[in-house]
Chain A
Amino acid sequence: MLTFDGVIIAQGDFHLAADLTISKGLTAVIGPSGAGKSTLLGAAAGFVSLKSGRIVCDASDVTAAQPGARPISMLFQDHNLFPHLTITQNIGLGLRPNLRMTAEETSRVKAAIGDVGLDGFGDRKPGTLSGGQQSRAALARVLLADRPVVLLDEPFSALGPALKDEMLRLVQRTLVDAGKTVLMVTHDPDDAESIADHVVLVAEGAATGPFDTEAVFANPPAALMAYLGTRVSRRS
């Protein structure tokens, strides 16, 4: 569970208010570009300072904690792997930030590589992998880090439609089924509608929700209507 408790973010002319609680399962963050979807995630992860309010994970207040000390994993739009480290090392960082691993930890890394279907790629550098394989490696690290909250800031946006769907299903099968709280930014309402349990709308200076996905698309509030326009719902 992740709570934005009376959060207000202010950066120059930009303002964003968020007062919401994200429960377990997959929650999609949608809204127009520039409205602050990434900023909302950045605030939870500790990269954006708050003007006021608190970030609470499960029962603990993490507002003052360093990014690495929060029970939160995050994948960014790009630069999710270190190009000079092998896939094994990149994934191992989820377990040991200094890479001094025991034999037991090394075998866990190996298992995680297998879980995302990258057996045999452990000694390769990210540059020699395809975009989809790189995404899988980053996801393996999130799995291994095993933190209760996972933030996905459009990490799959550079992939083609088929690969992206495959990754979303992998997220569903691994993270969501393991009972994580997953908050995922997407610029594609279809993604939200097809796999998200809930939807948070970031628009006009505020994050609102979470709404039940089916209900909100069936009967969108005014701000969502303005963003979606005359789009035809997939499920209707």
Chain B
Amino acid sequence: MARSALPIITMVPAIVAGAIVVVLTLGTLIAVALRAEVGSGLGPADWAAVRFTVAQAFVSASLSVGFAIPVARALARRQFLWRRLLITLLGAPFILPVIVAVLGLLAVFGRNGVLNTALAAIGLPEVSIYGFHGVVLAHVFFNLPLATRFLLQGWLAIPAERFRLAAGLNAPVGRLLEWPMLCVIVPGAFLVIFVICLTSFAVALTLGGGPRATTVELAIYEALRFDFDPGRAALLACVQFGLCAIAALVAWRVSAVDALGTGLDRVVQRWDGSRWIDGIWITLAAMFLLAPLSMVVFQGLAGLDDLPAEVWPSIVRSVSVAIVSAFLTVGMALALALQGGRLVAVIGVLPLAASSLVVGTGLFLMIFPFVRPADMALPVTAAVNATLALPFALRAISPAVAATTENYGRLAAQLNVTGWAWVRLVVVPRVRAPLGFALGLAAALSMGDLGVIALFADADAATLPLTMYRLMGSYRMEAAAGAGLLLVAISLMLFWICDRGGRVNVDV
């Protein structure tokens, strides 16, 4: 079909959106590379950070995927009352603010947590959540659900007829059907989670630290905030980018999996496996997820009375940043999706390889000769959050825009409904549901972000997650729990409002 069959749109919005992404990802990288002081090279502490980063990511990804295999298999072949709810819940950690989850994990596994109280009661020594295993624990908490969703998708992609055939032949389902599927899905899932664990600054900030548990990102943060050594921060940022780029490239080549997909609430009838073992796996996984979350709610409710005054302005800042960032994400995603093409696809995945700390360091280096970074904290955070959420928004919006063009592009072209009228009258109304979903996702992700804001903000510009972190740092755990509950509630509410708003009264 001729190119002219598509309703003509100006390329300007797509170019602007593409430029923002390229400046924030590749541009900041150049800024970082130019300032990097290679002279002294990496010291022993830096090498330790690199080793720690890779080791914790490897162990976290292995454990997440390893545990996800029995859990996903159990979910794929068992029908039970709360199955649907549990599967929905598996999607929740994606928009759950990291710092809130950490608080919940501390309440269960921390020094005064449920686990250690129980251990003390029976006379066993306490376990510490800080350091290597704390970071791994938090990563498994976040990524076990993700891995389970990946694998569940793999299981449900096996046609029900094959299970019937295997059962009829009395053939081993595991070797015949499940093993080949796992060989395809597991490497991709492992690598995606490995990349996520390489760049989860907030977990390392709260549970890591010290000479033996510092990630490269944490080292960047310390170099900028405490030592004010931009040259070293820049060098470390180059190292971090190298790590991410290699892992992301490999992941991109290996994986074709999509964790945001829906349609996971189907059950395939099966004739194998033990009902008891499956039940145990599901119960363990549900408890592992739900215990910290319920602690957030319990302690949060108790802490609501004790909220310090600085929480309220930080809520206003966080919500404003989230709203601006969400609209920016969706605007950029829509502009890019309308343009389409290979280049757009590449621009869309660039932010996946970017680490918010590297982007933040680059922006810091770019602007601090001209303005005080703290003054720019909120705009910079909004822009960076918008860019980092872009791949997810684009993945939600692109297929719907493509389908609209496919189905209605010719009709619109015929009627001379082009340019802005095409976007306003046809595209936006037709892709409203994914637009709402993307808007909610971007708002919730920005709401919970504790990355670039930590580099830039001082006390006057703290967002809610940063305020929470500071409360935790000064051991005001009750107040932090209260703030955490508010943070989760606001994040979920923003997501719900946007997602719901996109879906009411949709005409198919």
Cα(A99)–Cα(B8), bound, Å: 17
Is the CB–CB distance between A84 and B430 below 8 Å? yes
Binds A, one of B27-35, B162-170, B407-415, B467-475: B407-415
Chain A residue nearest to B429 (CB atoms) is A84
Binds B, one of A19-27, A40-48, A129-137: A40-48
Q: Which of B385-421 contact A (CB under 8 A)?
A: 407-408, 410-411, 413-418, 420-421
Cα(A98)–Cα(B414), bound, Å: 13
A117 within 8 A of B: no
Is the CB–CB distance between B1 and A48 below 8 Å? yes
Is the CB–CB distance between A67 and B408 below 8 Å? no
* Chain B residues with CB under 8 A of A85: 425, 429
Neighbour of B415 across the interface among A42, A46, A68, A84, CB < 8 A: A68
Minimum CB–CB distance for B8 against chain A, Å: 7
Minimum CB–CB distance for A74 against chain B, Å: 5
A125 within 8 A of B: yes
Neighbour of A67 across the interface among B407, B410, B429, CB < 8 A: B410
- Given A83-B508, A84-B430, A125-B507, CB of A93 within 8 Å of CB of B2: no
Cα(A168)–Cα(B341), bound, Å: 41
Minimum CB–CB distance for B400 against chain A, Å: 13
* Chain B residues with CB under 8 A of A82: 408, 411, 425-426, 430
* Chain B residues with CB under 8 A of A67: 4-5, 410, 413-414, 416
Is the CB–CB distance between B411 and A79 below 8 Å? yes
* Chain A residues with CB under 8 A of B413: 46-47, 66-68
Cα(A145)–Cα(B415), bound, Å: 9
Cα(A66)–Cα(B507), bound, Å: 29
Minimum CB–CB distance for B507 against chain A, Å: 5
Is the CB–CB distance between A98 and B8 below 8 Å? no
Chain A residue nearest to B417 (CB atoms) is A97
Q: For the complex, would chain A's binding face be called helix, strand, loop or mixed by DSSP majority?
A: loop
Cα(A185)–Cα(B7), bound, Å: 25
* Chain B residues with CB under 8 A of A48: 1-2
Is the CB–CB distance between B507 and A127 below 8 Å? yes
Cα(A145)–Cα(B413), bound, Å: 14
* Chain B residues with CB under 8 A of A93: 415, 417, 425
* Chain B residues with CB under 8 A of A74: 414
Cα(A61)–Cα(B461), bound, Å: 63
A73 within 8 A of B: yes
* Chain B residues with CB under 8 A of A99: 421, 425
Is the CB–CB distance between B415 and A47 below 8 Å? no
Chain B residue nearest to A80 (CB atoms) is B411
Cα(A144)–Cα(B5), bound, Å: 22
Minimum CB–CB distance for B10 against chain A, Å: 14
* Chain B residues with CB under 8 A of A31: none
Cα(A41)–Cα(B421), bound, Å: 25
* Chain B residues with CB under 8 A of A145: 415
* Chain B residues with CB under 8 A of A76: 410-411
Minimum CB–CB distance for B406 against chain A, Å: 9
Cα(A48)–Cα(B131), bound, Å: 64
Chain A residue nearest to B7 (CB atoms) is A68
Is the CB–CB distance between B2 and A98 below 8 Å? no
Minimum CB–CB distance for A6 against chain B, Å: 18
A69 within 8 A of B: yes
Chain A residue nearest to B1 (CB atoms) is A47
Extra inter-chain contacts (18) besides given A66-B416, A67-B413, CB under 8 Å: A46-B413, A47-B2, A47-B4, A47-B410, A66-B8, A66-B413, A67-B4, A68-B415, A79-B410, A82-B430, A84-B507, A93-B425, A98-B420, A98-B421, A98-B425, A125-B507, A127-B507, A127-B508
Cβ contacts A to B, 5 pairs, < 8 Å: A47-B5, A68-B416, A76-B411, A94-B415, A99-B421
Question: Closest 9 interchain pairs by CB?
Answer: A68-B416, A49-B2, A98-B421, A67-B413, A84-B429, A97-B416, A47-B5, A97-B417, A84-B507
